[in-house]
Chain A
Amino acid sequence: MMNRPGALLAAALCAAVPLVGGLAATDAAAQAKTSVVIGMTLEPPHLDPTAGAAAAIDEVVYANLFEGLTRIDESGAVRPALAESWEISEDGTTYRFTLREGVTFHDGASFEAEDVVFSLERIRAEGTENAQKDLYAAIESVEAEDARTVVVELSQPQGDLLWRLGWGDAVIVDPASAETNKTDPVGTGPFAFDGRVQGDLIRLTRFEDYWGEPAALERATFRFIPDAAAQVAALLAGDIDAFPNIGAPETVARFEADPRFEVAVGTTEGETILSMNHRRAPWNDVRVRRAIQHAIDRRALIDLAMIGFGTPIGSHFAPHHPAYIDLTDTAPYDPEKARELLAAAGVETPIKAVIKLPPPTYARRGGEVLAAQLKAVGIELELVPVEWGQWLAEVFRDPWDFDFTIVSHTEPLDIGIYARADYYFGYDDPDFQAHIAELEVEAEPERRQELLVEAQEMIADSQVNGFLFQLAKVGVQAAGLEGLWRNAPIQANDLTAVRWE
């Protein structure tokens, strides 16, 4: 540890004379660290959060590079961002946003109401690349009343519009730079893009003209290390300051015992599920799906694949959400029951099936454990490891070539995916679709709560997929690094409050 008066003196010098900050930084002994290296397992394919579903994009740019009208904070609450305040009409269909003043983009362009109109119109435009365009389908028109006021009209009331506008998919971009954001992102956030080495890292530097509280860090680097063992080595070597989501949960004990590191275990929005292809028999038979759920010992799965990190779920809903109900007893572990149900459904065992496993630990290891558990009831899985690109092309999109897959759905409050008949697992239930449509327009909190509870029960009763566990966020960071999120209410590595003690 450095001596405190020295650090304070150095900090005072830097604050007083920003220009010599760079020189002082070379005097490491007297200088508090102002940069951080964050490790991530997956590399983002590009850096435009409005044009891709990859969580890794938001994990680099959310709140750091790009901002929306609102933002979601560590607790999951909605806070004002580029909109200073807003008024909502009585009927819930008109939102009047007052925009913040003195905001500039990283390239010097000023932020105006027209940028908001452009960004929101772009989500809804024909041929949009936006991965979450359904979230904003209720928006009917966006108009700039004056340079600081934007009016959004909805076709129907939407209880959680402000929360939806806080997603990375709805960040505000400048028309002049919108097309090049994939490679050269320009936003309004406290950090500006400072270069990328493909396959290795992305650099950010503090944006000095930021409208709000400036970031404590001068520089931030995101490094991408897919291999779990290499992640551990990089942390131990000090090459990485923090790994907010470590790939190998079994190494956590080692870091907990080491005073140089801190371990932070929190929650994510990731419902980890055994997705079943409803377009293929016999998985479209509810008895077969229920049999599979009965064959799964969730506790053993979590203990073996995730070293105990994770919470069993019985439906597609996060346990920390206020509307959550525990449905894990809908089809508890009971191999005998599973065999009976399979026989009742006329399935001849042993039956073979293909499970495609994307790279994360929960899928690859989870797949091995599930293969053992399902084999015990006569379902023999062929484990096929796939890369994410392959997974997206073969499983997530047409031709939906899979029987099973394991994936963690990390978007928050995403039970609505079960109302999309064209979604990859192909669950097509008009009753559930009507239910979600009702939820969409419901603004009254208590009724919304009821509808959410019923939605959980409906998909648990139909046993749409195998519901496994809520993914935990297991992070390891160097001691003294403060301000990283413990929980992940949205896909993000928000660095705005990160500093070294």
Chain B
Amino acid sequence: MRPLLRPPTRARLARGRRHPSFAIGGALTILMLGAAALAAVWTPHPIDGVDPLARLAAPSLAHPLGADHFGRDVLSLILAGAQTSVTVGLIAVGLGLGVGAPLGLAAAMRRGRPLDAAIGRTTDLIFAFPAVLTAVLIAAVYGPGAINAIVAIGIFNIAVFARVARGAAIGVAARPFVAAAAAIGRTRAQIAVIHVAPNIAGVLIVQATIQFAVAILAEAGLSYLGLGVQPPQPSWGKMLADAQTYMFSHPLQAVFPGLAIMLAVLGLNLFGDGLRDALDPRLKTLRLG
């Protein structure tokens, strides 16, 4: 029996590490996670104080990335913003994976049945509305805030993971070892959990890195619009929104949060790419071909 994606053996991961995008993406992702973890325990300056004297200060030893329009240290805000992004991203993706993947798996096992159709049409419905629009809707009804942002991004992720899991699981379910398992009397649920799920895990992990990037972008977008996490909790999107009217006088204000978002998303995408190549050499050949 040959899985759709092979489990990540040591040799395969070693090949991945040589893959430049895997290495760069991995480094950036670790940097982001590290920044988030660091901010949970320490930031160079407090992020909830204001300082009129440091207002819009240029980068210096005391403030390596300068200070914002309230005189808060930009480096500290970027670190704390990473914490916000990672938290929102992890929960939203976790929600999507935890709810969406089982749904997709169930749909695949019940292919063509009403359950499959119901899940399929529901995900169609969710995809019909852009994620940001869904989030705006939720914020309009329940008010802006971190939890509503997570829910909004999470709902979109549920649909994504349901689709990906269903597609991959259908491919696996058609393989002979699944038929063999059925022949020896395994129930449908047993087959799904024991034989199909492990074989689609690789696809889901790769998808998770991509969705993580999407979630970070969505959180920044919502906070930019004032619908995401609320001050004083720092957010890269809110920093960007605050910097907007300073574009002419203090362009650096927008550069650092912008760079942070870009590097985080770029890192996760590269990491996801590298991971996919490492886990599925077949796909790589296809892409190169």
Contact = CB atoms under 8 A, between A and B. Distances in A.
Contacts of A383: 230-232
Nearest to A375: B48
B245 interface: yes
B248 A303 contact: no
A109 interface: no
Interface stretch (A214-222, A319-327, A364-372, A404-412): A364-372
Given A232-B245, A304-B71, A385-B144, A368 B52 contact: no
A250 interface: yes
Given A304-B50, A371-B231, A383-B231, A251 B70 contact: no
Nearest to A236: B248
Contacts of B187: none
Contacts of A228: 244-245
A372 B70 CA distance: 10
Contact of B50 (A248, A254, A369): A369
Contacts of A248: 245
A375 B47 CA distance: 12
Interface string A364-388: 0001110111011000001111000
Contact of B245 (A229, A376, A384): A229
B49 interface: yes
A300 interface: yes
Interface string A31-42: 000000000000
Contact of A304 (B69, B144, B230, B231): B69
Contact of B48 (A232, A299, A372, A384): A372
B245 A304 contact: no
Contacts of A77: none
Contacts of A232: 245
A253 interface: yes
Interface string B185-218: 0000000000000000000000000000000000
A30 B144 CA distance: 52
A384 B232 CA distance: 11
A304 B51 CA distance: 8
B52 A300 contact: yes
Tell me what chain B mostly uses at the interface: helix, strand, loop, or mixed. Answer: loop
B245 A371 contact: no
A256 to B, nearest CB: 11
Contact of B70 (A253, A369, A385): A369
A250 B245 contact: yes
Nearest to A297: B52
Given A376-B49, A383-B231, A384-B143, A368 B245 contact: no
Nearest to B247: A229
A350 to B, nearest CB: 12
Contact of B230 (A303, A369, A372, A385): A385
B55 to A, nearest CB: 6
B9 interface: no
Interface in A312-349: none
A232 B245 CA distance: 8
B231 to A, nearest CB: 5
A384 B230 CA distance: 8
A101 B82 CA distance: 70
B142 to A, nearest CB: 12
Looking at A382, A383, A384, A385, the one whose CB has the most chain B CB atoms below 10 A away is A385
Contacts of B143: 384
B120 interface: no
B60 interface: no
Contact of A250 (B48, B69, B144, B226): B69
Interface in A277-312: 299-300, 303-304
B249 A368 contact: no
Interface in B51-98: 52, 55, 69-71
A251 B245 contact: yes
A335 to B, nearest CB: 12
B246 interface: yes
Looking at B48, B50, B52, B249, the one whose CB has the most chain A CB atoms below 10 A away is B50
B231 A368 contact: yes
Contacts of A253: 249
Contact of A373 (B50, B144, B245): B50
A470 to B, nearest CB: 19
Interface in A163-222: none
A253 B144 CA distance: 32
Interface in A211-265: 228-229, 232, 248, 250-251, 253-254
Given A300-B50, A303-B52, A304-B70, A372 B232 contact: yes
Contacts of B231: 367-368, 371, 383
A99 B109 CA distance: 86
B100 to A, nearest CB: 31
15 contacts: A229-B245, A232-B245, A248-B245, A251-B248, A251-B249, A300-B50, A304-B52, A368-B50, A372-B50, A375-B48, A375-B232, A383-B232, A384-B143, A384-B230, A385-B226
Interface of B: 48-50, 52, 55, 69-71, 143-144, 226, 230-232, 244-249
Given A228-B245, A253-B249, 4 more contacts: A228-B244, A250-B246, A254-B249, A368-B50
